[in-house]
Structures are given as structure tokens and as C-alpha cells.
Amino acid sequence: MTEKLHAPVIDWFDSHARDLPWRRPEAGPWGVMVSEFMLQQTPVSRVLPVYEQWLARWPRPADLAKEPPGEAVRAWGRLGYPRRALRLHGAAVAITERHGGDVPTDHAQLLALPGIGEYTAAAVASFAYGQRHPVLDTNVRRVFARAVTGVRYPPNATTAAERRLARELLPEEDDTAARWAAASMELGALVCTAKNEECHRCPIAAQCAWRLAGKPEHEGPPRRGQTYAGTDRQVRGKLLAVLRDAHVPVPQTALDRVWHEPVQRARALDGLVTDGLVEPLPGGMYRLPLG
């Protein structure tokens, strides 16, 4: 079963993969790392313009490391989940200090960088350096759940069984394994999508356990939907937008104008300060962090 999946998915990828800037040779390991931070929970269409601007401004980790962390938050724009910007800045500082400014090739060294978890370390090692690692994002997990396990959706959180399956499905050769990681991810992004999957376009539809079982409905816990309007996330975004647009400290009164409900507004601002995304100053002034 395993080997029968590899060739058709990789062949499909060779013909249908999107031409994305982080897949080009000139992106280098740093470009791959930046893309992986930005693409977490964010669609490609929103990432592309910010990614291009980011790499133009900071083509190497050392270029970003020289800047205050607040500049990373400012350049992050409206990608959402801005703590990723702080983590990427922290990783750039560590790469500069520990590795001479070059993204490390070793998986353990990648995992030791601040802000990098198992997924990102495996993705950078695989996509930037062609190494053999299981790379389990939401798209890959969905492809494996359907094609091999025979269920519509994977669990809400990655399980040990999923990691074991991903290791079992890895091709033996490093280059093939890295290609398989990228190909299975692209298949989930373009064909084996969460809704309205296009089985007629799938290169492994004839082997897919879920399709062969008649596409049974999901029986696990309800799928978590994402809400935004009226949440603390929305308020945090509005507060950060004011600070991103200002290159001098901002008074409390300017922040008060962005949200009508004072308790939620204060809670959101306190959360931003606690997360290190906003720096309070004497006299009720605020700015993006300088250090």
C-alpha cells in the first residue's frame, strides 16, 4: 500500500504543484523558514505579499535580528496570530548568535530554536534541506486520514497514531521522502480539501480507503469552527493596527477609540502586553516592543 501511494502522488505534484516563491531554489532555507511561520493558520493568498516584502527587507536572519522585535510585528501586518512574528524574530536572533547567521541543517538544532516546534523543524529540514522527516500539517493529516485510515477527518489534535502512520508512510530515500512530504501537503491543499473534495482529480482515488468505504460521515468530535467578529482576537487586531501605523508612542486615548466596550478592550490590551507584543510606557503611552 505504502509504495503504491508514493509514485502517483509525487507524479501528480510534479505536474500540478503551484509555483510558490518559497519553493524556488533562490528562497533558500531562510525563505522556507519564513514561509512556514507565515503559513500557519493563514492561506497562501494572504501570505504571498507579506512574504515578498519580508524577504526583500530581511533577506537573511541577521538582517531581521538587528531590528527591534516591534519591527517584525509591524511588518507582519494583518496576517493574524502576531506572536508568530515575535517567535520568528527570536529564531533569527538565535540563528545569528548560535549558527553564524545560517539556518541550521540539523533537525535537533532547528527544534532547539525559540518558537520552533516539531512541525516547523521537520518542514524546514525536509523542504529546505531535502531530509527524511514526517511533516504533518492539517492538509497532510487529512490526506492520510482519508486515503489510509478511511475516515473523513483526522482528530482535532495530532495523535501518536498519526505520527506513527506518517513515519510508516515515509519513503526510504531522503530526496523521495522530502518530495513526498511536499506532494502530500499540496494534494490536501488543492484536491483533498476539507470541503468539496475533488476525487475525480485525485491520483490515488482508486486506493482511497474513505472513498472505497462510500465516504462515511465524520463520527468524531465536532469540527472546531473559527470565529473572529466580536472576539478578543478582533480587538487585539484593532489595537495592534493603531500601533503598527504609528512610529511614535500612542496614548491610551487613541487605543480607546478602536473598541467601544472598555472591559474587553482592557483585557485585550493587557493580553498584548503580557504576550510581549505591546510595550507600556509612563504616562499611559504604548508602542511596539523595542527589545
**Model pLDDT for residues 231-272, shown as the tens digit of each residue:** 899 999 999 999 999 989 999 999 999 999 999 999 999 999
Q: What is the DSSP string of 166-188?
A: HHHHS-SSHHHHHHHHHHHHHHH
pTM of the predicted structure, to 2 decimals:
0.91
* Cβ neighbourhood burial of 92 (10 Å; 0-12, 13-18, 19+): buried
Q: What pLDDT sits at residue 224? A: 67
Buried b (16+ CB within 10 A) or exposed e, 247-258: eebbeeeebeee
- Residue 156 CA to residue 153 CA, distance in Å, equals 8
pLDDT band at 1 (very low <50, low <70, confident <90, very high): low
Model confidence at 226, pLDDT cuts 50, 70, 90, reads: low
Is residue 36 part of the annotated active site? The answer reads: yes
DSSP secondary structure string, 120-156? Answer: HHHHHHHHHH--------HHHHHHHIIIII--SS--S
pLDDT in tens, 86-125: 999 999 999 999 999 999 999 999 999 999 999 999 999 9
Handedness of CA 219, 146, 22, 27 (dihedral sign): positive
pLDDT band of 147, cuts 50, 70, 90: very high
Query: Could you give the residue ranges of the DSSP H alpha helices within the chain?
Result: 2-16, 28-39, 44-57, 61-65, 69-76, 83-99, 107-111, 118-129, 138-144, 160-169, 174-190, 209-212, 232-245, 252-256, 262-274
In the chain, pLDDT over 90 holds for what percent of residues? 91
State residue 222's pLDDT score. Answer: 73
Amino acid 214: pLDDT: 96
Exposed / middle / buried, residue 206 (Cβ in 10 Å: 0-12, 13-18, 19+) = exposed
Residues 125, 110: contact at Cβ < 8 Å?
yes
Which among 3, 26, 36, 118 is annotated as catalytic?
Answer: 36
Domains of the chain, each with CATH number or no CATH: 1-218 (1.10.340.30), 232-287 (1.10.10.10)
In sign, the C-alpha dihedral spanning 56, 59, 63, 65 is positive
Please return the burial class of 77, using the count of CB atoms within 10 Å of its CB with bins 0-12, 13-18 and 19+. middle
